[in-house]
């Protein structure tokens, strides 16, 4: 059974594989290009909790600016964080730089799963994916799509996250010795386009005859997920501080750790996922209320009020005056880009 599963899936992948800028064609030998592992790694980091459509332009931009891991390793933190702005989950960008510098220092990417896992920011999934896709190593690659396919294929009914050990063990039984990279990407494509969360397209699935979940009649109920936790509501304030007749705005860089760490931003009142803002203002003055923006994070929903002040004084703390007409080049995180658009519309 396990051999026929991998054979059927690889045959299907040869006919239906998505053409993506970071992929090798199905069945093709690994590219004879020293930058190939870099491209695989970059795409895998960007694709964590992010759609393919969102990643494509960022992947192209990063390769255009930093075509090798050595070039990325030599980049400034500010430039990389600005280029990442809008892609979300900003700890990935910080780990991207740490990993690039570690790889450059050691002279290139290691090829084994264990060595890859030792690099900064690489967890089990990413290390396995790079080992399989970039180096052709047999590695068991399990992301959310693969998790869903395997839970249905083997009818694993234990709820998540407890089921993950059984899912990984089952995935190991069907991962082939050869073409493990193609197999991993085939499983991802199957989960993305056929074995979907809702209304799986079982009639189009190359594994339908082997699928225990389908035989039981309710594949869409697998994997069993725990009840969703209620996401707390938080409130905070961002400050649009300008000078020189509104032509310059005061920007800060957020602390390296924590939410939106290392990103350029508008100053705020210290809100976080755990608590509301403290209401403190960075400068005394006659503040104007411009309205509010909403933004959803993994651990909280935030309502951010925006207040504005034209001043001749320098705000407290570290920061820089930025040309308002070039605010789009500042690399603001999506939340603060929303606040900036509100302020500009109000003016």
| Positions marked active-site | 44
Q: How far apart are CA 153 and CA 6, in angstroms?
A: 12
Q: Give 25's DSSP letter.
A: P
Tokens 């390769």 -> residue: 63
Q: Which two tokens stand for residue 35?
A: 């930058």
Helix extents (H) in the chain: 2-16, 36-47, 52-65, 69-73, 77-84, 91-106, 113-117, 124-135, 144-153, 164-174, 180-193, 212-215, 334-346
Rounded CA separation 130/340 (Å): 38
Query: Omega of the bond prior to 223 within 30 degrees of 0, cis?
Result: yes
CA dihedral of residues 170, 171, 176, 179 (deg, nearest 10)? 180
Q: List, in sequence order, every beta strand (DSSP E) within 165-300.
A: 233-243, 248-253, 264-265, 288-296
CA 274 from centre of chain: 22
Distance CA 281, CA 147 (A): 47
23: left (phi over 0), alpha (psi -120 to 50) or beta: beta
Q: Enumerate the β-bridge partners of residue 235.
A: 303
Cα 278 from chain centre: 30
């Amino acid at each position: 059974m396990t051999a026929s599963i991998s054979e059927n899936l690889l045959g299907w992948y040869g006919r239906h594989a998505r053409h993506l800028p970071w992929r090798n064609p199905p069945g093709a030998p690994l590219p004879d290009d020293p930058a190939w592992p870099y491209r695989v790694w970059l795409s895998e980091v960007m694709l964590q909790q992010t759609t393919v459509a969102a990643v494509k332009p960022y992947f192209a931009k990063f390769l255009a600016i930093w075509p090798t891991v050595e070039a990325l390793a030599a980049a400034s933190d500010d430039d990389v964080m600005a280029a990442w702005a809008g892609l979300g989950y900003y700890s990935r960008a910080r780990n991207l730089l740490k990993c690039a510098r570690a790889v450059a220092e050691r002279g290139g990417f290691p090829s084994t799963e264990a060595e890859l896992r030792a690099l900064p920011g690489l967890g089990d999934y990413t290390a396995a994916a790079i080992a399989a896709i970039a180096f052709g190593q047999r590695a068991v690659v399990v992301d959310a799509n693969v998790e869903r396919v395997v839970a249905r294929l083997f009818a694993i009914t234990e709820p998540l996250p407890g089921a993950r050990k059984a899912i990984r063990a089952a995935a190991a039984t069907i991962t082939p010795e050869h073409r493990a990279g193609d197999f991993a990407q085939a499983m991802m494509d199957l989960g993305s386009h056929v074995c979907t969360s809702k209304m799986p397209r079982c009639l189009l699935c190359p594994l339908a005859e082997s699928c225990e979940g389908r035989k039981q009649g309710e594949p869409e109920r697998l994997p069993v997920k725990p009840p969703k936790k209620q996401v707390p509501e938080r409130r905070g304030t961002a400050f649009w501080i300008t000078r020189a007749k509104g032509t310059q705005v005061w920007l800060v860089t957020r602390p390296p750790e924590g939410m939106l760490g290392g990103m350029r931003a508008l100053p705020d009142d210290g809100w976080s996922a755990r608590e509301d803002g403290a209401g403190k203002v960075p400068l005394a003055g006659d503040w104007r209320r411009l309205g509010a923006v909403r933004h959803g994070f993994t651990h909280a929903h935030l309502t951010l009020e925006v207040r504005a002040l034209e001043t001749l004084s320098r705000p407290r703390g570290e920061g820089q005056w930025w040309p308002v007409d070039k605010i789009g080049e500042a690399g603001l995180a999506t939340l603060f880009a929303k606040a900036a658009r509100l302020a500009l519309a109000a003016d």
